Every structure is written in C-alpha cells, then in structure tokens.
Structure 1
Amino acid sequence: MRQPLEDRKVTISRAKFTVTYPSSFILVASMNPSPSGYFNDSDAPATSSPAEMQRYLSKISGPLLDRIDIHIEVTPVPFEKLSEERHGESSVEIRKRVTQARQFQTERFRESDSVHYNAQMSVRQIRKFCALDDASKALLKTAMERLNLSARAYDRILKVSRTIADLENSENIKGNHISEAIQYRSLDRDGWLG
C-alpha cells in the first residue's frame, strides 16, 4: 500500500514477466479511536486502557500513516450542536471554491504532463510553489520540533497548506494556512493517547 501511494503505480512480478500499472487513487479510510470505540468520550459505557489503545493504534504502520496527507480525529458531537439552527456554508458555495481552487492548480501545472494538482507535486515543485514567509517558516519549524514530524510529513503539510491557500484564493501560503494543515496531522502528535 505504501508504494502505490508514493509512486502512483503498481508493479506485479511473476516468474516470466513484470507488469507496471498506473495507480493514482484517493485513499479514504476510517477507524475507531480505540478497541471499544469510546476513546476521549467521558460518557462512554466502556473504555480501553492506554496499553490496549496503543496496541490497537500500532496496527497502522508509521510509514503508511506518513503517506496519508490528512488524518483527523472526529469527536462525538453533543446534542446541543446537532440541534442548532445555525447553518454553515452551502454545498453550492463549497463546490464553487473547490472548482476555483482546481482551476488555480490546473493553471499552476499547465506545463507539466504528469502533475495536475497539489497532491502530486514533487519535492522540486513543493520548493517552487510552497514558498513561506519567515513567520510561517518559524511556525512550521516549531511544529516539526514539538511534534517530532518526519520530512515526509513536512512535505505533506506544505501540499495541504498550498491547497488551503488555493481554497481561500490566496496566492501565497500564510501562517493560518500552515496552522490549519498542521491540525490535519492529528495522528502524528506525540502523546495522542493522553
């Protein structure tokens, strides 16, 4: 699974031949936060011990997790929030922003045959299109050191922050884009289990 995510191709080798197929896909996955499914829920009928939760979470390898751009923890929603009358942004408005962001990316990579959107950027393209100001660099450096993030996570954060900036119609990546992208790496955090 790691190699198709990274290289966007699958190689099948047999005794007499080897075949390589393209494999560009979007991986969407979910899992319970603990064996009982009630981690971080104070009203839970049953909880798991920290050792059980660590054993459960260790089923996902670090190298695979490193190759996933966004991973977030979804907490239970209280009744008060569910019953609110306040409405969020409509699907039509969100679709317009996403379509516009995709157009920015199409224009950005118009000279490339193999790259069409931010997630496909190479390291060289990340350095070119994800330039940061000093404040954003300092923020990212602090996060890298405090959360003990890998070089691969660094690149993923830059790609996601570039996309967030595109969604906000911003030519440059700003500190708030970096902050939001870091928040989408929740499983990288040391001490996630409490």
Structure 2
Amino acid sequence: MRTRLLQVLSLVALAAGCASAPATSGGDAARGDIFSAAGPSEFILVSARGELVSADVEPERVVGPDVNLGLYDQGKPGRPGDERAGQAIRGIAFNRAVSVATTGQRAAGVVGAMPLELTVTRAEAGLRARGLVAGALSDYRLDERQLTGVIGRCSYDLARAGRVYEGSRSCGGQPHRVTVLVPRALSAPSSWGDAALATALGLLLGA
C-alpha cells in the first residue's frame, strides 16, 4: 500500500510540474488514484498547485516525509486518551521542533520559536479549535460535513465529498483547489484526546 501510494504521489507531482494551465483530466485521475490507494490511517493533502502532504496517523504517532510526531500520556494515570491525565505531542513538523502539552480541552506549547495555544470544543460530532497555531490566529472546524476556517497562515473552505474534503484554500495568495483526506483517527474520539487531535490537525494543515 505504501509503495503504491508513493508511486501515485510521484505521478501527480510530475504532472503538476509539467502543467502551466489548470489541472487536466489526467491530473484529476491521478489525484483520484492517490485517494483510492490510501489506507484507513492515511492523511493526504493534494493541491491544484502540486503540493503533496502525506502521513500515517497511528495510535501514538504521526509519521510522514515532513512530519514525525509522537503522542505521550503524562500526569495522572488514566486510560489512553484520557484528557484528565494530559497528553504531550513532541517531534518535528515541516522542519520545526514541536513541543505541546494538552490538559482538558486546551493545548499549549511551541512550534519552532512560535507559540501554539488552542481551546478545543466538540459539538455535532465535530471539533472546533480557536487560538494560535505557530503564532498565527486560528479558528477552524472539522465535522462530518465540512473542514473550514483559518489554520495558521491558511484559510480553508472544504465540503465533504465521499471519503475526502474538497474546496478552496488560500495561504496568503489567490485561493486554489485542494483535496484533503482525514483519517478517522484525526476526527473521532480515540487514543488522541480532543486537544491533541486539534493540534495534530493544525500542524498538518497550517504548514
């Protein structure tokens, strides 16, 4: 599965690099192959500009070409993912050191030299996070219907379409098309508490 995914990612990158016009049907087909090949733990972002972000989201880590994060329980003993015990996320994301602690529905720490501070709520089977991601004001929401809001330097307006979220993204320039696959481990209650989920999502989407 991983080999197949990397082959398709390479094909899309080549197609994006050769195209000077809007994406062709061939590019759309290649993007479709990426998401068809993805396993249940895969996070994938593909933009119309050829940007590719991928990672495996596992019970205690997120690992990909640009991300290597570990999830650690800390504080009081408790079941995995018990927010009363607190959790920590440490590692590297997009060449920046990450050290974030979560307690209850809050996350606080640093990404590189910039602060990350989030307050997280869960409603309507989704998450909403507000605060700072890498020093930038952020307010974003993920549920079964949409992925919207401002995450770091990027704004998203995506709607659910089958397995993926599709729509527009702007990171300081003109909006462009983006498709995101979010594994259930980043959207549903799991060993990752809500504040840790929102932190991981913010790091992957706010780069």
Name the TM-score class by shorter chain: 0.3 to 0.5
For normalisation by structure 2, the TM-score amounts to 0.31
Give the structure with the higher percent strand: 2
Larger radius of gyration: 1
Give the structure with the higher percent helix: 1
